[in-house]
């Protein structure tokens, strides 16, 4: 059984490996020591305690965070996760990754991230609402449509965004749809936002498959995680004629070399993405990752592919739809074995790209069709992939380092030209 200390250690090491890769990438960009000192940590980190009146009348106090990595390019932007294992180190690392995503895709943002240590599966809707509103009250000084713009992340959704937007609007005494993205359509959400992370993964997966000479039609794909990204992705891949041979949720995994019946599984999943408990022949998540396939897509949580299982991964392409699924050591092993890695900061950027579209639409009060949104997303991610791929060839570095070089470039220029370093 993993203990809390194990989780904290793993997350600390994710943060450290992020700092290491920033240092390495800055080496290629001519960044000096001061630039590294500035970028290795978020500029701001707020820890809050949120008292929530539970349905039984007792009060529970939750811990939350909001980290803002760097706002030299523009306001910070990034999701809020609700999860029992949220730590300060994790939120800090995630805020840095958001900077890289925005840099790669050319959005006028720096990175931000928030989280609350809680188990939303154990809370009622009313408790969830009070917690969401309490969090916004606690961080309201730090955030805003031109300062830091939150969004959904693990176990948060458009309903939670709606409560948060409403609370912020109450505090500011005017409608503030641009304060948060991932809202329901009726409150100024964007067409296509809900499935945008998975759309983005589908685009970069297709580009990677082209480079590796694999046809998506008929390709055997394993998708770990059946939450927002994993479920939409399985659907899109199934519709594109890929053979989705494996899927999983927090409790187990299903694998069938003949391909799974994705429409049926989507129909049976609950709102947290749980479905494997309905089957007797499920295997573990760890077993799933090493099954035969052409393309592996971790779309769940961090630290899934490690030096222990990396030698046994069968996939030729690894597309990281989750944030931080692969450790630094595992990246080395897989790169050596010739696996094409599409790193998280590129593969999962579709969500924030469409969040940016949502924010632009809120600012101009003029809304686009889903076709328009998808067309723009397609263009940005195809270009982003090509840029990261080409940089990895030109500089003879792996795709992860290449993504950091591309993603940090503009921020390095911005901090210099502002006179910060
Ligand atoms: N939580 C998503 C991410 O990690 C989306 C962030 C956003 O839309 O701002 O990229």
Instruction: Concatenate the DSSP letters of all residues of 140-166 into one string.
Output: TTT-BTTTEE--B-TT--HHHHHHHHH
Q: Identify the CA nearest to 321 among candidates 221, 226, 230.
A: 230
Q: Candidates 143, 153, 349, 362: which one to mutate for ligand 1, based on the most atoms within 8 Å of Cβ?
A: 153
Report H helices in 173-297: 196-212, 228-239, 262-268, 285-289
**Residue 89's pLDDT is what?**
95
Active site (annotated) includes residue 92: no
- The class (CATH top level) of 196-338 is alpha beta
Fold topology of 42-175: Rossmann fold (3.40.50)
359 within 8 A of 239, measured Cβ to Cβ: no
The Å distance, Cα 280 to ligand 1 centre, comes to 35
Please report, for residues 99, 363, 416, the alpha-carbon distance to residue 30 in angstroms, rounded to integers and kept in the order given.
18, 36, 11
326 within 8 A of 302, measured Cβ to Cβ: no
**Residue 1's pLDDT is what?**
46
**Residue 145's pLDDT is what?**
97
**Residue 174's pLDDT is what?**
92
CA-proximal residue: ligand 1, atom 9 (nearest): 78
**Residue 272's pLDDT is what?**
80
The Å distance, Cα 328 to ligand 1 centre, comes to 22
**Residue 4's pLDDT is what?**
58
Domain 42-175 identical in fold to domain 196-338: yes
Residues of the chain scoring pLDDT < 70: 1-8, 11-12
293 within 8 A of 339, measured Cβ to Cβ: no
Domains of the chain: which residue ranges?
42-175, 196-338
What is the tally of helices (H) and strands (E) in the chain?
14, 12
The Å distance, Cα 311 to ligand 1 centre, comes to 30
Q: Identify the CA nearest to 103 among candidates 421, 380, 396, 393.
A: 380
Angle between helices 4-29 and 88-105 in degrees, nearest 10: 30
Using the Cα atoms of residue 214, residue 216, residue 218 and residue 219 in order, give the sign of their dihedral: positive
**Residue 12's pLDDT is what?**
67
Task: Give the phi and the psi of residue 297 in degrees, each rounded to 5.
Answer: -125, 95
**Residue 206's pLDDT is what?**
98
Rounded Cα gap, residues 337 and 27, in angstroms: 25
Run of H or E residues at 296: strand 295-298
**Residue 334's pLDDT is what?**
97
**Residue 301's pLDDT is what?**
87
Q: Candidates 98, 116, 343, 359: which one to mutate for ligand 1, based on the most atoms within 8 Å of Cβ?
A: 98
Structure-token pair, residue 381: 């991610």
**Which atom in ligand 1 lies closest to the alpha carbon of residue 150?**
9
Neighbours of 62 (CB within 10 A): 19
């Amino acid at each position: 059984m993993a203990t809390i200390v194990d989780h904290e250690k793993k997350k600390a090491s994710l943060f450290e490996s992020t700092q290491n890769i920033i240092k390495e990438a800055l080496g290629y960009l001519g960044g000096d020591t001061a630039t590294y000192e500035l970028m290795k940590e978020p500029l701001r980190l707020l820890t809050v305690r949120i008292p929530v009146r539970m349905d039984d009348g007792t009060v529970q106090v939750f811990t939350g965070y909001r980290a803002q990595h760097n706002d030299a390019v523009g306001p910070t932007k990034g999701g809020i996760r609700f999860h029992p294992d949220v730590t300060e180190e994790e939120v800090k690392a995630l805020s840095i990754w958001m900077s890289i995503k925005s840099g790669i895709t050319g959005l006028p943002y720096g990175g931000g991230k928030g989280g609350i240590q809680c188990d939303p599966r154990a809370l009622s809707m009313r408790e969830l609402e009070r917690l969401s509103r309490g969090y916004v009250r606690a961080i309201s000084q730090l955030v805003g449509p031109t300062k830091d713009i939150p969004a959904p992340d693990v176990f948060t959704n458009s309903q939670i965004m709606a409560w948060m937007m409403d609370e912020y609007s109450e505090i500011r005494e005017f409608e503030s749809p641009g304060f948060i993205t991932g809202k329901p359509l009726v409150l100024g959400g964007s067409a296509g936002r809900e499935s945008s992370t998975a759309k983005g993964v589908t685009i970069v997966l297709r580009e990677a498959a082209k480079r590796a000479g694999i046809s998506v039609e008929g390709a055997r794909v394993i998708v770990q995680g059946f939450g927002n990204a994993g479920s939409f992705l399985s659907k899109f891949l199934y519709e594109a004629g890929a053979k989705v041979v494996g899927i999983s949720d927090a409790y187990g995994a299903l694998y069938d070399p003949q391909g799974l019946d994705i429409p049926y599984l989507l129909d049976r999943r609950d709102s947290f993405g749980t479905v494997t408990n309905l089957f007797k022949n499920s295997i573990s998540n760890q077993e799933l990752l090493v099954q035969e396939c052409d393309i592996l897509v971790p779309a769940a949580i961090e630290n899934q592919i490690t030096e222990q299982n990396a030698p046994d991964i069968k996939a030729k392409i690894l597309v990281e739809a989750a944030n931080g699924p692969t450790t630094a050591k595992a990246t080395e092993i897989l790169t050596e074995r010739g696996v094409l890695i599409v790193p998280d900061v590129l593969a999962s950027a579709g969500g924030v790209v469409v969040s940016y579209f949502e924010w632009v639409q809120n600012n101009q009060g003029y809304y686009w069709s889903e076709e328009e949104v998808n067309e723009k997303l397609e263009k940005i991610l195809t270009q982003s992939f090509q840029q990261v791929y080409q940089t990895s060839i030109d500089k003879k570095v792996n795709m992860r380092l290449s993504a950091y070089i591309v993603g940090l470039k503009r921020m390095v220029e911005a901090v210099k030209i502002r006179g910060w370093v």
